[in-house]
A and B are shown apart, each in its own frame.
Chain A
Amino acid sequence: MKLLVCIKQVPDTTEIKIDPVTKTLVRDGVPAIMNPDDKGGLEFALQLKDKFGAEVTVITMGLPQADLILREAFAMGADKAILLTDRKLGGADTLATSKALAGAARMLDWDLVIAGRQAIDGDTAQVGPEMAEHLGIPQISYVADVQYDDKAKKFTVKKETEDGYQILEFQGKALLTCLASAVKPRYMSVGGIVEAYDKEVEIWGADRIDVPETELGLKGSPTKVFKSFTKELKQPGQIHEVDAEEAVELIVAKLKEKHII
């Protein structure tokens, strides 16, 4: 079994703060991490490898420093790593990103593509399904469990929904987008960490994938960021430092004003 796992390097958004003066994102010192849902997907792939001896290839599209998460994937147990990096891919929206990744996937041999549900910097959950469409294979999103029947060559997948879950089956190629909350990713092994830096990360430019340049990067992106801004918080009301008794009076008065009681 050959598995292709898509991962992304993201800023740890829980560490991002807004500069109160300039109202811009403070990115300095914010750690860059492997996106949590992607790490969950990698764990599912490694579990399939443990049981069925799969070959796990990780791929990321990003800046040269994304090498770091590929090394982390090596240390967790991945076999091969590809870094798709090129100025021509810069500024890509989800459609252009999915075209590039699908282009890279077409150059590789795999049975299943595994990705995270969404990345914490954008939270779009679009690249996986769009990539599946370009590859002409089905997708299952919000994946919470993956089982494989070696004899029947059949995958059984649990997909979470708002009000429960679905059990889905398929044979043949597909793309899964996984939930970080469903699985506990393994730690990097000590031996793995040592070896991770001896292994080769393949560097691919846009010339390695068979996708027209007009469909890549900013040029190939149908959506454009018109503006970005930090949120204007609404005008706060009054703050009262009071004892519990007075607090109750103030709250009751407010609820009456709003016709709640």
Chain B
Amino acid sequence: MDFSEYKDIYVFAEQRDGKIQSVALELIGKARELSKVTGEKVVAILAGCNVASQAGTLIEYGADKVVVIDDKNLETYVTEQYTQAVYQAVTKFKPSILMYGATTIGRDLAPRIAARLGTGLTADCTKLDITEDTHELQMTRPAFGGNLMATIMCPNHRPQMSTVRPGVMPKSEPDKSRKGEVVEFKPTFDQSKFIVKLVKNVKEKKNTVDISEAKILVSGGRGVGCKEGFEKLQGLATVLGGEVSSSRAMVDAGVMPHDRQVGQTGKTVRPSVYFALGISGAIQHLAGMEESDCIIAVNKDKFAPIFSVADLGIVCDLNKVVPALTERLKKEIKK
């Protein structure tokens, strides 16, 4: 394999209903950072139907070039249609690195493309580095339920591919004055392979708030105990303009919905402030929140592991602290 043919850092810019997903912008931010080491371009692959107008957004956030694949076959994500389109773009443009969001789409598409290309793929990365000398990608990911971290490389194959957990990489500030190149790419589709038919695509409004977007998270665990307890947390979150999230224990107990779960099997979050209330801090939970800018933990057990990552640790009964804090903040904010 001649590596010299493979260059630039590519991002699969996931969109849904024509809306660029936050993770795509996060990946462009990361690609920008890596490109400072390699001196390569940051290229976004934007696939969909009537999405060309979104290319500008990708450039504002740091793409030097956008490969637009606009086709009726790509209206809604279906594995084979997208695999054909992205595979053909990859074989034409030959990226050195290609990153996808670790979403239900990215985690479905990337392995299919990896197998078609015969290259490696590292799943759910939380950290990406590049070697100064050989420009090889070092992909770090949690394994064994977050108990162990592994750094993976793909030394003999190109492109080097990874999926990256949403909410982990910081976006760049958008810059309206940035200029970039937009190229159209027309794949040839083999419709005989379109065996799976999409009957319907249902959006469930399950009161969905994306906790990974929240600046302030008020998160509760076993110590909160019940629905009524979480209502008090909601009161605190509302005063601060934040959202309520939860540990796995409370989701398993049916008290909180899964989309509010922080941790290895839930979401990765990095808010400005993370309140960990009555959360002991199992390693699987820490894996999802320890990148938060400021962690404030309240727990009755002074030996709770959550205190090992907290910026401010309070050993006290949260049922006393939360109402008092909520009242106090109402006054503070009125001032």
Contacts and interface: CB of A to CB of B under 8 A. Distances in A.
Given A130-B114, A140-B196, A164 B204 contact: yes
Contacts, number: 252
B312 A238 contact: yes
Contacts of B311: 236-237, 254
B104 A142 contact: yes
Interface string B286-303: 110010011010100010
Contact of B315 (A221, A234, A242): A242
B313 interface: yes
Contacts of B195: 137-138, 170-172, 174
Given A95-B121, A124-B123, A258 B312 contact: no
A156 interface: yes
B37 interface: no
A18 to B, nearest CB: 6
Most buried by B among A223, A224, A261: A223
Contacts of A243: 316, 320
* Chain A interface residue bracket vs B: 35 or more
A231 B148 CA distance: 7
B202 A165 contact: yes
Q: At the interface, is chain A mostly helix, strand, loop or mixed?
A: mixed
A122 B124 CA distance: 10
Contacts of A172: 195
B80 interface: yes
A51 interface: no
A244 B89 CA distance: 59
B314 A138 contact: no
A162 interface: yes
A126 interface: yes
A248 B325 contact: yes
B153 A224 contact: yes
Given A121-B144, A244-B321, A236 B314 contact: no
Interface of A: 11, 13-14, 16-18, 25, 93-95, 98, 120-134, 137-142, 156, 159-172, 174, 181, 221-231, 233-234, 236-245, 247-248, 250-252, 254-255, 258, 260-261
Contacts of A239: 302, 307, 310, 313-315
Interface residues of B, number: 85
Contacts of B307: 236, 239
Interface string B143-184: 111011111111111000000000000000000000000000
Nearest to B293: A258
Interface of B: 16, 78-80, 103-104, 107-108, 110-112, 114-116, 118-124, 138, 142-145, 147-157, 193, 195-204, 208, 216, 240, 258-259, 264, 272-273, 283-284, 286-287, 290, 293-294, 296, 298, 302, 307-317, 320-321, 324-325, 328-329, 332-333
A258 B294 contact: yes
Contacts of B104: 141-142, 159-162
Contacts of A16: 144-145, 147
Nearest to A13: B145
Contacts of B156: 222
B328 A248 contact: yes
A258 B143 contact: no
A16 to B, nearest CB: 5
A167 B152 contact: no
Given A245-B324, A260-B240, 19 more contacts: A122-B123, A129-B79, A129-B111, A130-B111, A133-B112, A142-B108, A156-B199, A162-B259, A171-B195, A181-B258, A221-B120, A223-B153, A228-B149, A236-B313, A238-B312, A239-B315, A240-B314, A243-B320, A247-B298
Nearest to B203: A164
B172 to A, nearest CB: 22
Contacts of B144: 11, 13, 16, 25, 121
Given A138-B80, A222-B157, A251 B312 contact: yes
5 contacts: A13-B147, A16-B145, A133-B111, A134-B115, A260-B272
B149 A230 contact: yes
B62 to A, nearest CB: 24
Contact of A229 (B111, B112, B148, B293): B148
Contacts of B273: 255, 258, 260
A260 to B, nearest CB: 6
